[in-house]
């Protein structure tokens, strides 16, 4: 017994057992040397014209018309071998963890219930001879009920249904199709962990997407084109393909932010506050030069207070070097509108305001050198600002990449667990465990 899910055909090789009573064939065995049974060609006696209703072939009858066994009491038994190809509507929702319910429907082509009544010789189940039964490598026979179908609306209607419940062995599909797809999805999570400067993030994502597409194509080759349901595994593979597509889109966005600068884009303060102050500590990230910036600010505050102390000390020493009359003039002259005779001072670092400058005027060459120095200093400050802005964009892209990685992993884990829950909580046939234990002896 085998089942092709692509063509939705079940092929069964079996022996059909027909038993009926014909009083014309009865004899007294004592008059015929104790003969109890004889064999007669079915072409010379009446046999029931039984056809299979849901056959996929033109031949609706038995494959070989063997001789019939005629017993002395008038009972006739006919066991013709047959190979049937019957239609079986596939439900591939749980592929490859699915089971299929297939039936073979037999009815009489010449007689109705008023002329011939069907019965089951082996009870309400198909009899399986464990010495003849050959196990299938893909399907396991779990249940095999048999019953006679009658209609209350039509008293002449009668059919015999032989039903088999087959469960698929999923090991082949799990190891060769499903597990590689899961591994590809897991590997796609590390696309975000790959540095942008490596230049292979998009290439790796596209390669994984192509690999996943190949496995989707392999699954499509196994599925019937007329299936009424969508397999959960196909939904999961489509979900993984969507994740891979989103990973490519996210990589493009990260690349765009990574290579920005303050020449073309200015980072909003909200982004800095959200990513640098909120997301970075939450993700356990810290930009190295920001630590140095905090330390340099502390050092600058210490240096400024120290310079102010030095300036005050120098000013006090300068005032103490003057005579008492000079010191009094310097302090009282501004109050009476006199010009101060103090030398012009210059600010150094915002606090050294009491150091006198040279008396002679500065030459033009010195002024030119000072202007050039200021221009060079401004240029280097501009370069430093651009470099810092460039580093801010790189750090922003790094934080965004790490955030997308955790979101991607969360979506992958939730999707995988949902697939497992859907498969585990599906309704399986009743008494399937007991039937499985009964079939272990076959």
Whether residue 116 contacts residue 97, with contact meaning beta carbons closer than 8 Å, is answered with no
* Distance between CA atoms of residues 238 and 246, nearest Å: 12
* Distance between CA atoms of residues 429 and 141, nearest Å: 13
Interhelix angle 232-258/201-222, rounded to 10 degrees, is 170
* Distance between CA atoms of residues 398 and 248, nearest Å: 16
Tell which residue, 94, 219, 247, has the closest CA to residue 168: 94
**Tens-digit pLDDT profile for residues 413-431:** 999 898 888 888 876 655 4
More confident residue, 20 or 438: 20
Please give the pLDDT value at position 317: 53
Which residues face 143 on adjacent strands?
Answer: 165
Whole-model pTM over 0.75: no
Phi/psi at 273 (5° precision): -65, -40
Which residues face 85 on adjacent strands?
Answer: 11
Helix (H, G, I), strand (E, B) or coil at 195: coil
* Ramachandran assignment for 123, one of left (phi > 0), alpha (psi -120 to 50 degrees), beta (any other): left
Q: In the predicted model, is pLDDT for residue 251 greater than 80?
A: yes
**Tens-digit pLDDT profile for residues 118-160:** 888 777 777 777 777 777 788 888 888 888 888 877 777 888 8
Please give the pLDDT value at position 71: 92
Please give the pLDDT value at position 346: 43
Angle at 281 between CA 278 and CA 283, to 5 degrees: 100
Please give the pLDDT value at position 218: 83
* Distance between CA atoms of residues 100 and 89, nearest Å: 8
Helix (H, G, I), strand (E, B) or coil at 341: coil
Whether residue 81 contacts residue 212, with contact meaning beta carbons closer than 8 Å, is answered with no
């Amino acid at each position: 017994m085998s089942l092709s899910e692509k063509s939705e055909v079940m092929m069964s090789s079996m022996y059909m057992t027909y038993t009926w009573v014909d009083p014309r064939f009865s004899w007294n065995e004592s008059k015929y040397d104790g003969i109890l049974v004889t064999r007669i060609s079915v072409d010379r006696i009446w046999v029931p014209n039984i056809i299979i209703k849901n056959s996929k072939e033109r031949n609706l009858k038995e494959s070989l018309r063997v001789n019939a066994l005629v017993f002395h009491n008038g009972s006739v038994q006919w066991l013709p071998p047959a190979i049937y190809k019957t239609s079986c509507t596939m439900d591939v929702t749980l592929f490859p963890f699915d089971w299929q319910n297939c039936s073979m429907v037999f009815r009489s082509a010449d007689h109705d219930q008023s002329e011939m009544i069907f019965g089951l010789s082996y009870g309400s189940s198909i009899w399986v001879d464990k010495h003849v039964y050959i196990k299938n490598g893909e399907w396991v026979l779990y249940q095999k009920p048999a019953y006679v179908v009658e209609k209350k609306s039509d008293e002449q209607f009668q059919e015999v249904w032989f039903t088999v419940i087959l469960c698929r062995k999923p090991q082949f599909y799990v190891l060769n199709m499903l597990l590689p797809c899961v591994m590809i999805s897991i590997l796609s999570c590390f696309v975000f962990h790959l540095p942008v400067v490596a230049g292979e993030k998009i290439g790796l994502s596209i390669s994984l997407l192509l690999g996943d597409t190949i496995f989707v194509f392999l699954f499509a080759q196994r599925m019937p084109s007329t299936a009424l349901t969508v397999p959960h595994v196909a939904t999961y593979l489509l979900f993984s393909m969507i994740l891979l597509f989103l990973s490519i889109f996210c990589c493009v966005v990260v690349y765009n932010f990574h290579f920005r600068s303050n020449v073309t884009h200015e980072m909003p303060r909200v982004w800095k506050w959200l990513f640098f102050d909120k997301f970075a500590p939450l993700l356990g990230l810290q930009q190295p030069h920001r630590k140095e910036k905090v330390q340099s600010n502390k050092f600058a505050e210490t240096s400024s207070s120290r310079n102010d102390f030095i300036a005050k000390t120098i000013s006090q020493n300068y005032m103490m070097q003057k005579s008492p009359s000079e010191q009094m003039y310097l302090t009282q002259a501004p109050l009476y509108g006199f010009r101060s005779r103090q030398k012009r001072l210059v600010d150094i670092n915002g606090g050294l305001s009491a150091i006198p400058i040279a008396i002679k005027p500065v030459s033009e060459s010195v002024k030119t050198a000072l202007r050039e120095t200021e221009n060079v200093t401004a240029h280097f400050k501009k370069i430093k600002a651009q470099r810092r802005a460039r580093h801010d964009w790189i750090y922003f892209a790094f934080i965004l990449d790490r955030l997308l990685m955790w979101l991607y992993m969360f979506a992958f884990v939730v999707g995988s667990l949902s697939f497992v829950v859907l498969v585990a909580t599906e309704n399986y046939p009743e008494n399937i465990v007991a039937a499985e234990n009964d079939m272990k002896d076959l």
